[in-house]
Structure 1
Amino acid sequence: MASLKEIKKRIASVNSTRKITSAMKMVASSKLHHAQVAIQNMLPYENLLEHILKAFLVSTPEAHVSFETPTRKVHKVALVVYSSNSSLCGGFNANVLKLMSQIINEYKSSGVTQFVIYPIGRKVAERVQKKGMSSGGDFLELAEKPNARECANIAQELTDRYNRGEIDKVELVYHHFKSAGSQILTRRQFLPIDLSTESIGDMNDRDLSSNVVTAKAQEYLRKKAANKQRAKENIVPLNDDFIVEPDLPTVLKSLIPKLLNLMIYTALLDSNASEHAARMVAMQTATDNADDIIRELNLQYNKSRQAAITSELLDIVGGTVNN
């Protein structure tokens, strides 16, 4: 059995660790709040732009967009993979890297051998460098501070390479932020553009109202959501009798880059919020585990202390009887 001094030292050590994890949890909670506000401010623009563009393209048969051509044979694939620059966020980075490897193996099995990875985040960049894969650039700062202009530059580079035939398909790999306690690993096609209007709004199922991640609170929210009937908005195609000014190519040339830029930026905001939520959950779990360990150590300390006192009393009583 450990001595009282050793137990007391370990209690102090666990207490110090608990203070760190508790502070990191509060920092992650604050950053998550800012990330949620950023998503909330972007949502109205995202919803309307996606609806207008897709309904416009679907209802305009004469519209010809090179980005929507599905018949091109895939020889080279680009993956935009989002991770974090730091650790201590549970399985956030491991899950992204695992899905990236699965996608690459899937394409290799179908005959594709050329890949280029756009690593947004240090963890993906390290994996790309370690495996010797082709990298599309350095975007470490973007993972910490989401920037719409930088995302637009990435989208422009990808579309230019797609138009030149250097890339045949582009996919995004990231965590879709659904709520503080739920982040969904997502694989989304970037190029060619998916014009189906049935999926409009499917990615806008985020709960931005709460940062609660405890098990009891999540169970309560799930039951509340199950009992509440949410009427789904039916996407009604816009009037197909468009008056296009100045002309169709000019309008498409303006709308399509906006949608592509928005897809890159939205995925970045989702990944950023998911990272902070995952870190908040991980630090909350670590803090709870530290509380459990401290309780066990205090119980062990008290038992050892009581045993030592009892032993001393027995020695005193035994000595008195002998005398």
Structure 2
Amino acid sequence: MPSLKEIKGRINSISSTLAITSAMKMVAAAKLQKAQMAIQNMLPYERRLHSMLIDLMGAVNMSAPASEEGSARLVSLSNQPDHTESEGAYSLMAQREVRKVAIVAFASNSSLCGAFNSNVIREATAVINEYRASGLGDADITVYSVGRKMAEAMKKLGFPSPADFTKMSDSPSYDAASALAQELLDGFVSGRFDKVELVYNHYKSTSSQPTIRQTYLPLSLADATADLQAGKIADSASESDTNRGAEPVGAPVVRQGSPTTEDLIVEPSKEELIATLLPKVVRLRVFTTLLDSTAAEQAARTVAMQLATDNGNDLLQELTLEYNKGRQQKITSEILDLVGGSMQ
């Protein structure tokens, strides 16, 4: 049985730890509220852009360039505004045999957020093993690690990140996300990547952050249309509860009663409008994914610190009770010694 001094020391240590966990919970809750506002303000804009793009692509009957008609429908995404369409023209819907793949995995820079990092690292590892099983070598798989924890885990597996993206996890920035998206676009267009996937934790609610795996490139009009027909996409504007998360980013939205592209007059042309919307959508998707992952991280950290605080309070009550029992037993023993000595 530990002495009263040892129990008292444990009580003081736990009390100090509770002060830290309570402060971290308050900080995480404040950051979560800020992240919630950012993702909720961004998602309707991103979804509507995606929905408009799908409607326009469907109106001009754009399909994968594997078809004869699709091979002629290329979209210009040049960084330089003075480039001609022929110089920067390419298709982001080209379905190719997957021989080289890029995986963008999002995690955090710090721990103390429950299973947030371990879940997404496990999913990213499973994706890598899946491609290994399909016949791809390690040299054919490129992992862009966003967050220090992901970078460390992937480096141990033999997949160091091509660049340092740790700052993106702490301070989400559209400029940094746009630069990463442009690198992925250039790699896909040049043939360096045949497929690009995103792996991240989606903020569904404060207590739920499921791991999501999405195909970033090539763009698939068929998959998005299937989701729309199946009714899987809901309008984010109808979600009034701020504690509820949105659907995974990159999912388009269809509003009931909205006019179809056949009812609209598009100038100068639908093709030129697609060429303008497409780079915005693909770049914005990386940024929205980053915001979604940040919100999920803060939610996981809030829950983890709340659980740590509750467990600490329970342990503190047990130790206090044990200390009081030991102290009472010691006092009783001293009284008995005094009474026994006086009777001799």
TM-score of Structure 1 vs Structure 2, range by shorter chain: 0.7 to 0.9
Which residue number corresponds to residue 229 of structure 1? none
Q: Normalising to structure 1: TM-score of the pair?
A: 0.87
| C-alpha distance in 2 between matches for 1:320 and 1:192 | 93
Deviation, structure 1 residue 243: 4.1
Q: Residue deviations 1:116-160, cap 9 Å, x none?
A: 111110111112322332523111111111111211111111111
CA contact (8 A) 2:101 2:195 kept: yes
Whole-angstrom CA distance in 1 between matches of 2:333 and 2:287: 68
1:112 maps to which of 136, 152, 155: 136
Q: Aligned-pair distance for 1:233?
A: 6.0
2:173 alignment counterpart: 147
Task: Give distance in 1, aligned partners of 2:297 and 2:159.
Answer: 24
What SS class does the counterpart of residue 193 from structure 2 fall into? coil
From the superposition, tell whether residues 116 and 207 of structure 1 become closer, same or farther in structure 2 (CA, over 3 Å).
farther
Q: Which runs of 5+ in 1 are unaligned?
A: 212-231
Identity of aligned residues (%): 47
Whole-Å separation in 2 of the counterparts to 1:156 and 1:308: 72
Determine which of 87, 100, 103 is the counterpart of 1:76. Answer: 100
Structure 1 residues 202-211 or 266-275, which shifts more?
A: 202-211
Instruction: Give me the whole-angstrom Cα distance separating, in 2, the residues matched to 1:321 and 1:277.
Output: 66
Shift of 1:245: 2.8
| Amino acid across the alignment from 2:170 | E
Whether 1:131 and 2:164 are equivalent positions in the alignment is no
- State the distance in 2 between where 1:94 and 1:237 align: 45
1:191 aligns with 2:217: yes
Amino acid at match of 2:200: Y
Q: 2:105, 2:144 within 8 Å by CA — same for their partners in 1?
A: yes
Per-residue deviation, 1:207? 7.6
Shift of 1:321: 2.4
Letter of the structure 2 residue corresponding to residue 240 of structure 1:
E
- Aligned to 1:116, what secondary structure does the other structure show? strand
Report if the CA contact (8 A) 1:36-1:208 is conserved. no
C-alpha contact (below 8 Å) 1:84/1:93 kept by paired residues: yes
Shift of 1:85: 0.5
TM-aligned CA distance change 1:282 to 1:29, over 3 Å: same
How far the C-alpha of 1:4 sits from its partner, in A, is 1.4
Asked whether 1:67 is paired with 2:84, we answer no
Shift, 1:79, TM fit: 0.6
User: Is the 8 Å Cα contact of residues 56 and 270 (structure 2) preserved in structure 1?
Assistant: no
What's the TM-score, normalizing by structure 2?
A: 0.82
* 8 A contact 2:60–2:271 mirrored in 1: no
Cα distance change on mapping 1:100 and 1:187 into 2, 3 Å:
same
Match of 1:301 in 2: 323
CA distance in 1, matches of 2:132, 2:234: 30
Counterpart for residue 88 of structure 2: none
In structure 1, C-alpha distance between the alignment counterparts of 2:284 and 2:23, rounded to whole Å: 34
Other structure's SS at 2:117 match: helix
Higher mean alpha-carbon deviation, 96-105 vs 151-160, is at 151-160
Check 1:202–1:116 CA distance in 2 against 1; reply closer, same or farther (3 A cut).
farther
Q: Is the 8 A contact 1:60 1:240 kept in 2?
A: no
Could you tell me how far 1:209 is from its partner in structure 2?
Answer: 1.8
Task: Note the C-alpha offset of 1:234.
Answer: 5.3
Per-residue deviation, 1:203: 9.5
Q: Aligned partners of 2:178 and 2:128: how far apart in 1? A: 25
Aligned to 1:13: 13
CA contact (8 A) 1:179 1:208 kept: no
**Aligned-pair distance for 1:173?**
0.4
Task: Compute the RMSD of aligned alpha carbons.
Answer: 2.3
